[in-house]
Chain A
Amino acid sequence: GAVVSQHPSRVICKSGTSVKIECRSLDFQATTMFWYRQFPKQSLMLMATSNEGSKATYEQGVEKDKFLINHASLTLSTLTVTSAHPEDSSFYICSAPEGGGVRAPYEQYFGPGTRLTVT
């Protein structure tokens, strides 16, 4: 199946700094990507939909100025956590759908996740 990668897999940063997380679709093009956040022992929470060449769509309650999303190419979306604080520490996961249309519904391919720790 298709592969989605994330970089870095783990990052520790100091409070007040910004961190960028990359999400890449390795063998397919993704005009849309999704970003999720997952706290310990909780389910994935959708943060935003990243659209290539246009602005991201954020879920209710997610601060767009804090979580900057850039989908500059068909294989890369980035999530920048600006002015990070300890409460932003979480597991961030991206996904990209592939397929769809007549032959089959699309499948969501998930990245391996990025563990962010803000000290």
Chain B
Amino acid sequence: AQKVTQAQTEISVVEKEDVTLDCVYETRDTTYYLFWYKQPPSGELVFLIRRNSFDEQNEISGRYSWNFQKSTSSFNFTITASQVVDSAVYFCALRGGRGSTLGRLYFGRGTQLTVWP
């Protein structure tokens, strides 16, 4: 079974604070793929990152960074020096590697991030 848990339903921070969004996943697949998407109020899901199960390197892209730890089945997302434009719902998602689940993204329930000026 594939499952993604985002325990934080809502987070509020003040601009320039750092914030970490948690993502814990469950899968029996040895090969799998993890994703983060951002959904601003306009509705479109914006792809942020993909991480393959065989690549545990952390990644930094500007103010965004991701910490992938297979030992704890976590793929956390940190925004440094948050800005008002970061306000959105953030979804973590899992895609299995087996053919029967190919094409199916399993989403967490999302974390609503609000950044106050």
- A and B are interacting partners: no
**Residues of B bordering A, CB below 8 Å:** none
